[in-house]
Amino acid sequence: MIPPSNHLTRARARELIASWTGKNVVVLGDLMLDRYLWGDVARISPEAPVPVVDVARESLRLGGAANVANNIATLGARAILVGVVGNDAAGERLREELAAAGLDAGHLVADPTRPTTSKTRVVARSHHIVRFDRESRVEIGEDTSGRLLDLAGEVLENAGALVISDYGKGTVTRGFLERLLAAAREAKVPVCVDPKDTHFNSYRGVAVVTPNQHEAAEVLGYKLRDEGAVARAGLDILTRLGSDAVLITRGAEGMSLFEAPDASRTDFPAVARRVFDVTGAGDTVISTYAAALAGGAVPREAAVLSNRAAGQVVQEVGTAAPEAAALVSDPEDRR
């Protein structure tokens, strides 16, 4: 019998972590370079009623599907990243950041027709002041799509799980999804999806989808204002997609897992003592869930560990990765 809520024995948590260590997890989706400008605010601009940030330092971090891969690698599994970058300076910096993190960039396709997606955040005294993006949301062409599919096919055969990290930036297209999911089914690889509403109905038959509460509401056309609506959403998504599970992330309310065939529900209360930044929390959830499946976890075990991992990263400013050792004990034991 699987313990409900956040309870998972230390022995079982250690067993799962040991099982997924070294397993291949393929990550395919929208790659991003996250740039942070850190500083302080001491005055308002005389030119307009906006704060003047005195920038003290700058840092680069992996974002989007690259952050998913980094999370997986930090947890001890082997992340194989498949995606598209532009033929530009940001693309080179992204490759450098991947190398610095020990991640292989050998399955990336350079597309000179589009920029590397980059997001620049200005942070002052731990407060997010503004963000500006450079990106293209135009879907990739058939040639680039075919090259990605070939690369994914090369690595799926030996994979323990596949993560599709769809940020709606053009890498994931409907036609590409159909071929990719067919290849994953043939290879008997469980597919974990962090979805966008654009392609939501294309994620049929996957192991899990992990929409946040807002994304679920957008897709279904009704607000998840109470527990009854959340339960209805879980059943509706399971019915629509025929997936094994749906994990709805709910911010301060934690997470709710719904499992086929009868939409049985398990709730996981939030475990973070304090929340500084939710940037990348969804990446952490899907990363941990996929690693856990690769290690032989059932959905409720994967959700327990995903919830604990998310509780770690939201206590950091900016995108962060969880530590596998911290997933072993129940957070209630540390309060």
Domains parsed from the chain with CATH numbers: 10-32+63-114+137-334 (3.40.1190.20)
**pLDDT tens, N- to C-terminus, the chain (335 residues):** 344 456 789 999 999 999 999 999 999 999 999 999 999 998 999 999 999 999 999 999 999 999 999 999 999 999 999 999 999 999 999 999 999 999 999 999 999 999 999 999 999 987 889 999 999 999 999 999 999 999 999 999 999 999 999 999 999 999 999 999 999 999 999 999 998 878 899 999 999 999 999 999 999 999 999 999 999 999 999 999 999 999 999 988 889 999 999 999 999 988 755 544 445 588 999 999 999 999 999 999 999 999 999 888 765 555 556 677 778 876 555 44
Cα–Cα distance measured from residue 101 to residue 83, given in angstroms and rounded to the nearest whole number? 17
Q: Are 9 and 310 in contact (CB under 8 A)?
A: no
Instruction: Examine the residue annotation and report whether 283 is marked as an active-site residue of this protein.
Output: yes
CA distance 312 to 304: 13
Query: What pLDDT was estimated at residue 311?
Result: 81
Nearest partner of 207 among 193, 223, 194, 225, judged by Cα: 193
CA dist 80 and 44 (Å) reads: 46
Give residue 320's pLDDT: 59
Q: What is the DSSP string of 75-142?
A: HTSEEEEEEEEESSHHHHHHHHHHHHTT---TTEEEETTSPPPEEEEEEETTEEEEEEEE---SPPPH
Token pair in block for residue 237:
């998504």
Contact 248, 227 (CB under 8 A): no
Strands 31-44 and 191-194: unpaired
Q: One-letter amino acid identity for 154?
A: E
User: Could you say which of 30, 111, 283, 330 is catalytic?
Assistant: 283
pLDDT of res. 125: 84
Q: Which long-range contacts (CB under 8 A, 24 or more apart) does 176-179 make?
A: 176/140, 176/145, 176/148, 176/149, 177/202, 177/203, 178/202, 179/149
